[in-house]
Chains A and B, each alone.
Chain A
């Protein structure tokens, strides 16, 4: 029997469908990582901060430092009210970390880290970083990994955790495939916490290997920053909603 080109094309299409179904079935993985839902208690508007991204708690002043996508660093009280702002502005502030005397800010698009003096928010130094990925998918967060005594910057997508020394020279990098993207990070009490925007999830990770220990699903649209206060209560900023969400302590999952 004569077989037309269409006959062969249909056969190829059927094989492709079979292949697609096989991939589909193989992608169904059982999730053995301990996890639970983590509900927020309340939220406050950050209406005067345009597109708030990261947030960090300063144990000395008992204030938050919050950065905006518009390249502005704010100091706010615990209700999110602005106390002061840095006069030096950048392009696209996405990450903030505070140490004893300094505030570090990552500027995503130009790939820079700014070091501000905490007492007067004056700019002390600028570090130039490198990241070849998409302009708007670079370093969304910065935190100090106390366990390994290094700074880490986390790229949004693909997710790569890059470790730096105090002069922001690269030490090491770790790929992370547990989430589709990453928008926040914070070391707290011996663990590394990573926050995914697309997956709306907080990951509790080993601070040495960054392997996921547990994760917590949160009902916050577009979460971009995570902070822990002196008592361990969690705060999460939402960029799109211009809000700060208040949670209790990270829940304990019964194994």
Chain B
């Protein structure tokens, strides 16, 4: 409680003049949703439905075609409300994730295997009446531009491996404070979270009882910028944002106990989503937009100090080799062009990720994608070609050499 008080006062001290929105909601500016209003109280109802067909080009000798067919990407509903007393609230949930989790005892998420998704993407209350916004509940952690950007407003069907939730959690329950300074050019976030990420709903707080802390600082010029990767406004001036962010957690519990493998279905494909030890993740990102062209870059590094030398992250290496430390991370870069005259967005993305520096190898992916917007990204066909240009044979050997996804999305 003392920590919480100090944290709140510190955040208050850095802000003296700001008032604006800083929500990560994917539905704040969605023009196709519906609103009920009762005097000064409003409730907006939105959602997203998307499907795609997927075709993987298998290596010779493999004949499992379970990734060659139809995929339900999103069946989401969102309720976004504002009250007359300056509170806002949101409930964003994925019906497909909830139903799949219920039917498979929480081990299967259709569009992101290996990523234990709670199905609740946002459930928070925010007070907007102070110069610092105070948000309590489940929402995205203010870390990583790629995480905060709305994936459905790009031609891509999914986030890169680096920021897609397989390496580190994207959402968590906690307290987030945010404010804007200097005519909204500077945007600051600070928060404390359970550290359990999307697994909080299944497991609750872990026995360490310690929080994960996160902070993010953004500088936008010449004006504020939302979390939309594509330059849909065909910005007549150069518009950019640079940001730095960091997360820290200590999951060593009383008497040296930590997560201790208690949550084996939650650690993820690379044993990093839930982590037993000390961890710092830091990164920087940037985006620039000009006349329909947008380019993004992001670099994230994760330093982990597992409490046990038998932790699988050490890959069986002795202390003399690993020095008690494991590093993961990588970079991603996208280049997009919004050709508004033909309602089409062209995108190319590149990713370099090393999920564990103690396991030889790294992965590189090239993604080419096109979106045809019948009515903005709210009614849109997307075609994506995903090519592994460097296979990580140590951490993630592949049975395929390429993948095509073609589908349609409706956002309302």
How far does the alpha carbon of A173 sit from the alpha carbon of B28 in the complex, in Å?
Answer: 26
How far does the alpha carbon of A9 sit from the alpha carbon of B82 in the complex, in Å?
Answer: 46
Query: CB < 8 Å: which of B39, B232, B236, B343 contacts A27?
Result: B343
Take A24-B372, A70-B19, A180-B376 as given contacts and tell me if A219 and B236 are in contact as well, using a CB distance cutoff of 8 Å.
yes
In the complex, which residue of chain B has the Cβ closest to the Cβ of A219?
A: B236
Question: Cβ of B222 < 8 Å from any Cβ of A?
Answer: yes
Q: Which of A10-18, A94-102, A142-150, A207-215 contacts B (4 or more CB under 8 A)?
A: A10-18
Query: CB < 8 Å: which of B40, B80, B383 contacts A17?
Result: B383
How far does the alpha carbon of A133 sit from the alpha carbon of B35 in the complex, in Å?
Answer: 6
Q: Which residues of B contact A111 (CB under 8 A)?
A: 37
Q: Which residues of B contact A181 (CB under 8 A)?
A: 31
Q: Is the CB of A135 within 8 A of B35?
A: yes
Query: CB < 8 Å: which of A10, A13, A131 contacts B35?
Result: A131
Query: CB < 8 Å: which of B55, B235, B406 contacts A6?
Result: B55
Q: Is the CB of A20 within 8 A of B40?
A: no
Q: Is the CB of B31 within 8 A of A13?
A: no
Q: Is the CB of B40 within 8 A of A137?
A: no
Q: Which residues of A contact B237 (CB under 8 A)?
A: 219, 221
Q: Is the CB of A20 within 8 A of B383?
A: yes
Question: Cβ of A241 < 8 Å from any Cβ of B?
Answer: yes
> Footprint of B on A, CB under 8 Å?
4-6, 9-10, 12-13, 16-17, 20, 23-24, 27-28, 47, 50-51, 70, 91, 109-111, 131-138, 156-158, 180-181, 197-198, 200, 218-222, 238, 240-242
Among all A-B residue pairs, the 10 with the closest Cβ atoms = A157-B31, A240-B223, A219-B236, A135-B44, A137-B31, A134-B33, A135-B35, A110-B40, A241-B223, A134-B31
Q: How many residues of B contact A (CB 8 A)?
A: 48
How far does the alpha carbon of A157 sit from the alpha carbon of B232 in the complex, in Å?
Answer: 14
Q: Which residues of B contact A136 (CB under 8 A)?
A: 28-29
How far does the alpha carbon of A70 sit from the alpha carbon of B86 in the complex, in Å?
Answer: 12
Take A221-B235, A221-B236 as given contacts and tell me if A135 and B80 are in contact as well, using a CB distance cutoff of 8 Å.
yes
Q: Is the CB of A13 within 8 A of B234?
A: no
Known contacts A6-B65, A9-B55, then 17 further A-B pairs from the complex at CB < 8 Å, ordered by chain A residue: A5-B68, A10-B55, A12-B53, A13-B55, A13-B404, A16-B406, A24-B372, A110-B42, A111-B37, A133-B33, A135-B82, A157-B31, A181-B31, A198-B232, A198-B233, A218-B236, A221-B237
Shortest distance from the beta carbon of B208 to any chain A beta carbon, whole Å: 40
